[in-house]
Amino acid sequence: MSVATTEHPVLLTPGPLTTSPQTRQAMLRDWGSWDADFNQITTRVRQHLLEIAHAAQTHECVPLQGSGTFSVEAAIGTIVPRNGHVLVPMNGAYCQRIARICEYLGRRVSTHSYAEDQAISPADIDRLLSADASITHVAVVHCETSTGILNPLQEIAKVVHKHGKSLIIDAMSSFGAVEVDARATPFDALIAASGKCIEGVPGMGFVLVRRSVLESCKGNAHSLVLDLHDQWVYMQKTTQWRFTPPTHVVAALDQALQQHRAEGGLAARGARYASNCRQLIDGLAALGLKSFLPREIQAPIIVTIHAPCHANYNFQAFYNAVKRQGFILYPGKLTTVETFRVGCMGHFGGEGMRAAIAAIAHVLDEMEISVAA
Ligand SMILES: *Cc1c(COP(=O)(O)O)cnc(C)c1O
């Protein structure tokens, strides 16, 4: 596991995140986009991603160039017909982004808002779907990265399925570490990206789409580059990407996926992150720093921490000092309270987390911020 140095800092961030040396080394050669060897890598990666969700029998994996949001926008644009109606339950910035995408694309959208420290309630979804039969799709964020809330996906999926509606999941910051089993959690589309819990580098996303749904999506998309149906048809026919693939990103993702499997797959990845998360919350609590969420809804991915209530604290100075110790923190994203965030995801474990907590303790001391009770 990675150890911090000032040349190779440990990123305590939700992507880009800390990758392994092998993953970075996989980028040290060039690939031709027409080359059969490269296209075999693409095929292997797509298959492997389906297997992580137990979706190989029912779904297709369509990769797409760009950051994760490109794939979210592509999924909404391709899967929701132009006269569709999307329900977006909202408890953070990434849900808001989905609603915004719907507005941009001219898809009808209804939202239902929660406080930022509240999980989405499946009973509310049930009630909202009963009240408005015109809703065709529900789009949910699995782990709301803006706070670290884990939404109750399986229960939500059951409700959506019961109503015969289509579920689109933004599993960007959970895929590969928190179980989503397509056989038990029915979904039409699940979106994630290379540079999150699989621990690849950023640059591509992918959407697992139910095959029968994808086959019916021709002509929905408003955009050529974001048309997942067209991307899929071309890839099935040629094994190639439609437009220039992010070759080095794909090669790194292939390597990262092999390490994911060698570590013990999703269960082992999830256990390592959960252990990082416990250690982080306990370690910071011992320094007098409190986490924002109750433990029951905290995902083992990223933790929001209340900023120390002290005159000497300001995030930028704190960030810079922690960076000098070899660790990169993440700013808070809440509007009402001052917070910062620390990621539990990336190529580090107990030793890395211990060092990170020691670095934060050192900086608090250096800045003469005493918050311990
Ligand atoms: C990272 C992330 C995204 C995608 O963000 P990009 O900056 O486009 O990569 C979308 N949803 C969630 C929940 C995320 O964590």
Q: Could you identify the atom of ligand 1 that is nearest to the CA of residue 171?
A: 13
Indicate whether residue 357 lines ligand 1 (CB < 6 A): no
What average pLDDT values come out for the chain (373 residues) when binned by 10 residues?
78 95 97 96 98 98 98 98 98 97 98 97 98 98 97 98 98 98 98 98 98 98 98 97 98 98 98 98 96 96 95 95 96 90 96 96 94 65
- Give the neighbor-by-neighbor strand order of the sheet with 339-343: 302-306, 339-343, 330-331
Which pLDDT value is given to residue 1? 80
What is the bridge-based pairing of β-strands 149-150 and 143-144?
A: antiparallel
Contacting residues for 33 by C-beta, under 8 A, at least 6 apart: 240, 241, 244, 245, 247
Closest CA to 245 of 231, 227, 256: 231
Q: Could you identify the atom of ligand 1 that is nearest to the CA of residue 196?
A: 1
Indicate whether residue 346 lines ligand 1 (CB < 6 A): no
Domain with CATH 3.90.1150.10 in the chain: 10-18+265-366
Give me the amino acid identity at 368: E
DSSP readout, 79-145? Answer: HS-TT-EEEEEESSHHHHHHHHHHHHHT-EEEEEE--TT-PPPHHHHHHHHHH-TT--EEEEESEET
Per DSSP, the three-state class of 273 is helix
User: Please, what's the b/e burial string for 112-128 (b: 16 or more CB within 10 A of its CB; e: otherwise)?
Assistant: bebebbebbbbeebbeb
Indicate whether residue 73 lines ligand 1 (CB < 6 A): no
Which pLDDT value is given to residue 373? 52
Indicate whether residue 151 lines ligand 1 (CB < 6 A): no
**Residue 283 CA to ligand 1 centre (angstroms):** 27
Domain with CATH 3.40.640.10 in the chain: 22-262
CATH topology for 10-18+265-366 is Aspartate Aminotransferase, domain 1 (3.90.1150)
Indicate whether residue 14 lines ligand 1 (CB < 6 A): yes
Indicate whether residue 172 lines ligand 1 (CB < 6 A): yes
Indicate whether residue 69 lines ligand 1 (CB < 6 A): yes
Closest CA to 179 of 20, 300, 15, 45: 300
Q: Identify the residue whose tokens are 């949910």.
A: 140
Indicate whether residue 318 lines ligand 1 (CB < 6 A): no
CATH 3.40.640.10 for the 22-262 domain, yes or no: yes
**Residue 121 CA to ligand 1 centre (angstroms):** 22
Give me the amino acid identity at 137: H
Q: Could you identify the atom of ligand 1 that is nearest to the CA of residue 69?
A: 8
**Residue 198 CA to ligand 1 centre (angstroms):** 14
Query: Nearest residue CA, atom 4 of ligand 1?
Result: 68
Please name every residue paired with 47 in a beta bridge, in sequence order, or none if there are none: none
**Residue 4 CA to ligand 1 centre (angstroms):** 25
The answer to whether the beta carbons of residues 339 and 9 sit under 8 Å apart is no
**Residue 172 CA to ligand 1 centre (angstroms):** 6
Binding residue per annotation — 341?
yes
Angstrom distance (rounded) from CA 258 to CA 148: 27
Which pLDDT value is given to residue 371? 78
